[in-house]
Amino acid sequence: MIVILFLSIFFFSCSSVDNYSHIKVKEVIDGDTIVLANGKILRYIGIDTAEVRIKQDKDFTYQPQPFALEAKEANRKLVENKFVRIEFDVEKTDEYKRLLGYCFVNDLFVNAQLLEEGLAVLYTRPPNVKYANLFVELQKKARLSKKGIWGTYEVISSDQAHKFINSIRRVRGKVVDTYQSPKAVFLNFGRDYRKDFTVVIFNDCLKFFREKDIEPAIFYRGKTIEVSGRIKEYNGPEIVACSPYQIELVEE
């Protein structure tokens, strides 16, 4: 009887909702965020998908951005009501108390699948870089194959970026100046950094550029580039670049 009781307790523990090696997905919020059976929100590491809801002031408004619903539907088909395995990296949670992880359904790597289908873009931030090289290759493959986002939208010019806030786009323009602050390198595409398009490379991402012998503040100055990512509003439109593979030189 004691043995049976012990095995029952052991089995219950292993199948509990806090066992991230085997846990059910309760709800899909969007392309890169899900709710697990224990009520915890999981944000996929290394990728970014278009937003279904946009934050305005303190509230979120249902305002799907281009490819947001496609990414959510793909994610739903992959994981909703299924048991998944969550693999963590260095940081287990973010500033919003969400779990950060890599999601697997049996042998299918969900984060990677969304990138490969062109429904997500690379968004790898140190120290969570376990699969960074794989993600880079999958994005390059999707872009060359013109899958999803990459085959739908034309490249936009830097002076038009302000029209696409919260959208994931590829932006082209000339870096007219650069600035290195104590926290980041800024690639400026206009003379007024308060309203012109900017690419921001935070210090914790600089090592990825330096591994490729790129010192961003010097290397990109005066060059025409294309950069991919989510366009955000902060002193004008900006894209945060965490990898040199988000930026491509364009021959004049």
- Active-site residue, 98 included: yes
Do 116 and 158 lie in one domain? The reply is no
Q: Whole-prediction pTM value?
A: 0.84
What is the CATH classification number for the domain harbouring 191?
2.40.50.140
- Residue 30 pLDDT more than 70? yes
> pLDDT band for position 188 (50/70/90)?
very high
Domain range for 87:
2-144
CA angle 207, 126, 37 (to 5 degrees): 165
- Residue 1 pLDDT more than 60? no
Last residue of a domain, one of 118, 144, 170: 144
Last residue of a domain, one of 88, 123, 144: 144
Q: Which of 53, 76, 98, 221 is catalytic?
A: 98
Report whether 240 contacts 168 (CB < 8 A).
no
Compute the half-sphere exposure of residue 90: CA atoms within 13 Å on the CB side of its CA. Answer: 9
Residue 174 DSSP label: E
- Residue 13 pLDDT more than 60? no
- Active-site residue, 221 included: no
Residue 4 makes CB contacts below 8 A (sequence gap 6+) with none
pLDDT value at position 2?
A: 55
CA nearest neighbour of 111 among 68, 50, 47, 67: 47
Do 180 and 209 lie in one domain? The reply is yes
- Active-site residue, 43 included: yes
CA nearest neighbour of 34 among 71, 62, 89: 71
